[in-house]
Structure 1
Amino acid sequence: MLVKFMTGETGKIPWNLWQCLLVLLGMLAAGYGTALLVRFFASGLPLAYRYLLVGLAQGAAVLGGLHYFVRKKNGLSLEAVGLKAAVLPRAIAVGLGGGLALFLLLVIVGSLLQLFLPDQAPQPFTELIINARQPRDLVIPLFLGAFVAPVSEELYFRGFLFPALKNRYGFAWGLVGSALIFAFLHLDLVRFLPLALGGIGLAYLYERTGNILTAIVAHATWNTIMIFLLYFALRWV
């Protein structure tokens, strides 16, 4: 259950969908803007470092947007988006279990989809892992996949967007709507359904625990298992 923010009403939040859109546009502008700058001024930069710069820019844009709309504009702490360190052990435990369950679900769904869809070229981030020659080559993918993406994406999609959608359209539409937007923005048609299901699961974990750290840990667990699985599977073949 969300903290009481306004006039003693439970479940109300002081930000709206328009402000959610502004933060999203800021995140996209930061990411694409950084990618363009790198393309024109540092075209020789390795792909891993390009991803690092884009990921950091997007993460900074999300944190900046949340700082403005949550803290500066409304004078709230980050508990407003579910960041509660007081129950960290439980968040970690539930997040680890939830992340493992989501990983297994997504592997099953993805495997079933591959029976009906033609083989697709790997995504650039996946190529980072495929092309890794030694464990140290996983440092940047792990930093992005197990820290930057889980923190920035969960704070935005589950901590900021999901409550706004739920407040406007109800729990079910908030759950599905935030997950569909999350999946769509990955720009991967083949993985759209698995990502949407993952987004629903992450929002459900946040709703049940009231702690965004649960969703962050679950997201990080899911990504970390996938990264190591891809890395080691290619070496076992």
Structure 2
Amino acid sequence: MSEAPDEAAPPWPLWTIPVALVCTVVVGSVGQGVVLAIAGVSISDKHPPAGVTVGGTLVLDLALVGSALVFARLTAPLRALQFGLRLPALGRSLKWLAIVAIGYVAVGQAYGALISRAPKDQLEGLSANAPAASIAAFAVLVCLIAPIAEELFFRGFVFGAMRRRVGVWLAAVISGLLFGAVHAGGGTPAVLLPLLAMLGFGLAILYWRTGSLLPGIALHSINNAIAFGALINWDWQILPLAVGALFALAIVLGPIAAAAKRDPPVALGH
């Protein structure tokens, strides 16, 4: 595994990364403000309704995807292949998905032993006693939309742009740190942010070793399904949630990845 810059990566310049991040924050913040205004909720309200939390988070996810697509398009034609939206080799994908998943669990266990009591993530408006419609909306957001948006931006765009310039390992570290940092304002306790950064690093390596974003999206979705189920004290329901999310992801992304095979080759030069 060489640490040299990856010449097979998309030719997006490094400046697009910080600018896209700033645009995401600005657009996401404005969009969330609009959601609050429509709902008639004050920005100082520490316990907004579930619909406001879902709407605000959806706006941020859309801002992530929009920023990645806009700034990638500024420097090169958009291709699904450049974002890693391709069908991967099954055997290789399962192998590396297992390696990254086991590694992440092991690191998580070790990290958990270093802290006295790991707090849980929080989603305002979500609890075990929340209405079924709220739980369903949060489940779609957390297990389906968020994995697609975050993987497309942090692995497909950020890691994709950086690995060509600074090498795979440094790109994986930086994209992982950014992935952890962006969750700081989303209700994730600070003590859990390093663990999310480690997950981001592992997902970048998974993308690199499989050549596809799909295994990472799948693992991200499974991780979110487990965390979501734990948050509302689910037990056996976690398995059908994870399987259902993977099935939905296959329906949404399968045709895009299959169509990517018909894309013309992408020129890697400027």
Tell me, in whole angstroms, the C-alpha distance in 1 between the residues paired with 2:96 and 2:51: 29
1:99–1:173 distance in 2 versus 1, CA, 3 Å: closer
Partner of 1:144: 141
Q: Structure 2: 5+ residue runs without aligned partners? A: 43-47, 236-270
Tell me, in whole angstroms, the C-alpha distance in 2 between the residues paired with 1:49 and 1:212: 30
Q: CA deviation at 1:152?
A: 0.8
Tell me, in whole angstroms, the C-alpha distance in 1 between the residues paired with 2:53 and 2:103: 25
Secondary structure at the aligned position of 2:40 is classed as coil
Partner of 2:83: 81
TM-score, normalising length: structure 2: 0.69
* Equivalent AA in structure 2 for residue 112 of structure 1: A
Q: CA deviation at 1:209?
A: 0.2
Tell me, in whole angstroms, the C-alpha distance in 2 between the residues paired with 1:49 and 1:88: 39
Q: CA deviation at 1:33?
A: 1.4
Partner of 1:4: none
Q: CA deviation at 1:156?
A: 0.8
1:54–1:137 distance in 2 versus 1, CA, 3 Å: closer
Partner of 2:166: 169
Partner of 1:61: 63
Partner of 1:108: 109
Tell me, in whole angstroms, the C-alpha distance in 1 between the residues paired with 2:62 and 2:170: 28
Which of 27, 30, 34 is residue 27 of structure 2 equivalent to?
A: 30
Tell me, in whole angstroms, the C-alpha distance in 1 between the residues paired with 2:111 and 2:16: 34
Q: CA deviation at 1:212?
A: 0.6
> Which of 188-197 and 175-184 deviates more?
188-197
Percent identity over paired residues: 27
Q: Structure 1: 5+ residue runs without aligned partners? A: 2-8
Residues 202-217 of structure 1 aligned to structure 2 (within 5 Å): 202-217=203-218
Tell me, in whole angstroms, the C-alpha distance in 2 between the residues paired with 1:193 and 1:65: 25
Aligned residues: 222
Partner of 2:220: 219
Tell me, in whole angstroms, the C-alpha distance in 1 between the residues paired with 2:75 and 2:173: 28
TM-score, normalising length: structure 1: 0.78
User: Between Structure 1 and Structure 2, which shows a larger proportion of helix residues?
Assistant: 1
